[in-house]
Amino acid sequence: MKLLNIHDANLALYEYSKIGETGETVLLLHPGGFISSYVWNEFVQNFKENYRVIAVDFRGHGNSEKTKSGYNMSNLANDIHEVLNQLNIQSVHIIGNSLGAEVGLVFASTYSDKVHSLTLIDGGILNLVGPNGERDETKEELLEERLNRPYPEYSSKEEFIRFVQENWIDFRKIASEIPLYKLDNGKWTFQQPNEIATLILEAGCNLDMLSLYNHVSCPVLFLPAEKEPKLEQKLKVIEEIKSKLPFIKTKIIPGSQHIMMLEHCNELSFEIKQFFFDIKNSINSI
């Protein structure tokens, strides 16, 4: 890991492989909340031999600086753009999950010349709120709850790991990698500061996903999770998006959940590699 000074924040960069540095680069964009780039540690093993693979902790996450502002989606996408500029990377395959899918979509709609392809893992499909939104609550209800959410407290890292092992089945394998933050009372929490989380949530609520696809020109792979709510609505929206994109593919991995790379890493990797292969075949057939 190294820190890059990006705009007004120090952002954590992870470079998993130098192989293919002069060829294609894969950029991994993580989900939000207490999750950061560590979530890709197993997944990246399936790509680092043939691609230059990098990941960035968004501001306010992981080892990146927790700034007081700068959390709208355009700014998060601009942060990524500046990271690529500093690394002299001209274009990338973006793979994003949840918040990472949303930022990836905004990036692809803003900097279309920088994106080889866009893979959206259970994100970037439904609007967060509104008619047929991902959440049933109103924007105001979501923001109020998030701003006032109590912080879970643990006396030590060991106590937290025991809690994860007993209660969060999907996260057991990465329990020791989840960062903790010290509270004013001396105890520890995994929860992202509420003020930052609320700003990010508000930015997500303000996105209109369908309109963003009017400015996307790269191939897109949709990977909606089978076990998450509103799968049928997601598939209907993908059908609407098809007319806007030159190359689109949709795959549903059996049994998949929101943070797909934890329990379905190999299946996920296979589908994305096949997508990359299909893109090359499509280009070569022109």
**pLDDT single digits (tens) 121-162:** 999 999 999 988 999 999 999 999 999 999 999 999 999 999
Judged against a pLDDT cut of 50, whether residue 210 lies above it is answered with yes
All structural domains of the chain with their residue ranges: 2-130+208-284
pTM above 0.75, yes or no: yes
List the structure tokens of 8: 């007004």
User: CA 267 to CA 269: how far, in whole Å?
Assistant: 5
Domain range 2-130+208-284, CATH architecture: 3-Layer(aba) Sandwich (3.40)
List the structure tokens of 254: 């059996």
Model pLDDT for residues 235-268, shown as the tens digit of each residue? 999 999 998 898 999 999 999 999 999 999 999 9
Average pLDDT over residues 180-195: 95
What is the pLDDT, as a whole number, of residue 132?
83
Average pLDDT over residues 81-100: 97
Question: Of the ranges 13-22, 68-77, 168-177, 209-218, which one carries the lowest mean pLDDT score?
Answer: 13-22
The pLDDT confidence band at residue 286, using thresholds 50, 70 and 90, is: very low
The pLDDT confidence band at residue 281, using thresholds 50, 70 and 90, is: confident
User: CA 132 to CA 7: how far, in whole Å?
Assistant: 36
**Beta pairing, strands 220-223 & 248-250:** parallel
Mean of all residue pLDDT scores within the chain: 95
- Choose among 98, 274, 99: nearest CA to 200: 99
User: CA 53 to CA 37: how far, in whole Å?
Assistant: 12
User: CA 198 to CA 61: how far, in whole Å?
Assistant: 13
User: CA 64 to CA 57: how far, in whole Å?
Assistant: 6
The pLDDT confidence band at residue 211, using thresholds 50, 70 and 90, is: very high
Model pLDDT for residues 39-85, shown as the tens digit of each residue? 999 999 999 999 999 999 999 999 999 999 999 999 999 999 999 99
Instruction: Give me the residues paired with residue 27 across strands.
Output: 54, 94
Whole-number Cα distances in Å, 206 to 87, 211, 237:
30, 12, 18
What is the pLDDT, as a whole number, of residue 284?
58
Which own/partner pairs from 36-39 qualify as long-range (CB within 8 Å, at least 24 positions apart)?
36/12, 36/61, 36/62, 36/63, 36/64, 36/179, 37/12, 37/62, 38/62, 38/174, 38/177, 38/178, 39/97, 39/174, 39/259, 39/261, 39/262
Tell me which of 30 and 285 has the higher pLDDT: 30
